[in-house]
Amino acid sequence: MKRFLIEIVIELVFSFVVLSLIYITYNAYIDPYYNKFITGKQSSMIFGTSRANIGIRPDVINSRLEGVCIYNYAFNGHQSRWGETYYNSIEKKLDKSRSDGLFILAVDPTSINSVFDKNGKESFAREKLLKKMTNVSTPIINYQYIFNEINNPIYHIFTSKAHDDGFLELYAPYDSAGFMNNKKTMITTFNNSQAKEKVSQHRLDYLNRTIDLLKNYGSVYLVRIPTAEYIRELEDSAFPDFDNQMIDIAEHSGIPYINCKNNSNLYKYTIDGNHFVTDDSFNFTNDLCDSIVKIIGY
């Protein structure tokens, strides 16, 4: 028995050490979001859904805006819609020791929508990851995430890389044929999801609360990231009041609303029409910096 236990413990410890070393060395390839939980608290951040995670490059902003060290803390349309869950996670990740931060809040109609059941009860079931992740800034390695949350095979190494600054780089070159072929599917997907969702007062309230929180620690910008033209048209027809709602929120909070939705044709998108191809993440972030510079006035 003694020999058995010793051998089992040795094997488990050895595997654990090797596993940990691999995770520490290759953290960028493990999972699109793992990196976000092994960096410390941040004083400047980008928030939003996958459009922001894939579309706004912190390295570009940091090189363009002096003294800024911004971090991309955006996730995806399931996990990081505005609401209590994302708010709590942002609060945990926020470095409250400084008040000169820069915060870019990417908004889109999906980010303020929720699924409601027949009785009108709002569902937050998809926000499991951020709800469960109590530790969002563990240095070096985050075992909570590794053991509980990684459910993606290692195939990710062929499709994406998570940068140290939180930006998610997709290895997806522009595919015009794929883009055109996928249009019909995306329109169906959009219509199917809109049939189940509507604007959530809870999410609008929490967007306001998030802005109020962040204003204490720096300047806040509300940004609408462009999408492929047909996606914009779909969103405009499904949510005609969205921009007005954002303008109201921005005016009420005294922050700028940078609405780039009409710049669709300046960029190229992945086949889902929702995300920039990598080169255009770079271009868009540069254009965004121009807008911010104009507002700040330097």
Partner 1 sequence: MLFNSIEFMFFLPVVFLFYWFVFDKFLCNYKHKLLLQNAFVVVASYVFYGWWDWRFLLLIAFTSLCSWLSGVLMQKVDNNIDVGEAISESKSVTRKRKIITAVNIVLNLAILSTFKYYDFFVTEFAKLFHLSADGILLKVILPVGISFYTFQALSYSIDVYRRKIEPTKDIVAFFAFISFFPQLVAGPIERATNLLPQFLKKREFDYASSIDGCRQILWGLFKKVVVADNCAVVVDQVFADYANMPASSLFVGALFFAFQIYGDFSGYSDIAIGTAKLFGINLMQNFNMPYFSRDIAEFWRRWHISLNTWFRDYVYIPLGGSRTTKAKIVRNTFVIFLLSGLWHGANWTFIAWGAYHAVLFIPLILLGKNRKYTNTVAEGRLLPSIKDIVMMTLTFMFVVVGWIIFRSENIAEAWHYISGLFDMSLFSMPSVPKRDLLVVPFIGLLIVVEWFNRQGKHGLYGVEKLPYWSRYIVYTLIILLIFFMRTTPKAFIYFQF
Three-state secondary structure call for residue 94: strand
The one among 25, 118, 139, 155 contacting partner 1 by CB under 8 A: 155
Q: Which is nearer to partner 1, 88 or 138 (by Cβ)?
A: 138
Can residue 8 be called a binding residue for partner 1 (CB under 8 A)? Answer: yes
From CA 187, how far away is CA 175, in angstroms rounded? 18
Query: Which CB atom, from 116 or from 174, has the smaller least distance to partner 1?
Result: 174
Half-sphere exposure of 145 (CA within 13 A, CB side): 27
267, 228 Cβ separation under 8 angstroms? no
4 touching partner 1, by CB under 8 A: yes
Question: Would you count residue 125 as binding partner 1 (CB under 8 A)?
Answer: no
- Cα separation of 158 and 32, whole Å? 12
The answer to whether 185 contacts partner 1 (rule: CB under 8 A) is no
d(CA 119, CA 19): 46
**For partner 1, which is the closer residue by CB, 18 or 293?**
18
CB of 116 to partner 1, least distance (A): 25
Quick one: which segment of 8-16, 87-95, 115-123, 218-226 binds partner 1 (CB under 8 A)?
8-16
Q: Which is nearer to partner 1, 1 or 67 (CB)?
A: 1
Cβ-contact 82, 210 below 8 angstroms: yes
Q: Which of 115, 141, 150, 187 binds partner 1 (CB under 8 A)?
A: 150
Q: Is 13 in the site for partner 1 (CB under 8 A)?
A: no
Helices (H), the chain: 2-25, 27-30, 50-55, 58-64, 84-93, 128-132, 143-148, 176-196, 201-215, 229-238, 242-253, 278-296
Nearer to partner 1, 21 or 293 (CB): 21
Comparing CA positions, the residue from 55, 48, 51, 118 lying closest to residue 83 is 48
Shortest distance, position 11 Cβ to partner 1, whole Å: 6
CB of 262 to partner 1, least distance (A): 33
157-166: burial string, b at 16+ Cβ within 10 Å, e else: eeebbbeebb
Binding footprint of partner 1 on the chain (CB under 8 A): 1, 3-4, 7-8, 10-11, 14-15, 18-19, 22, 147-148, 150-155, 158-159
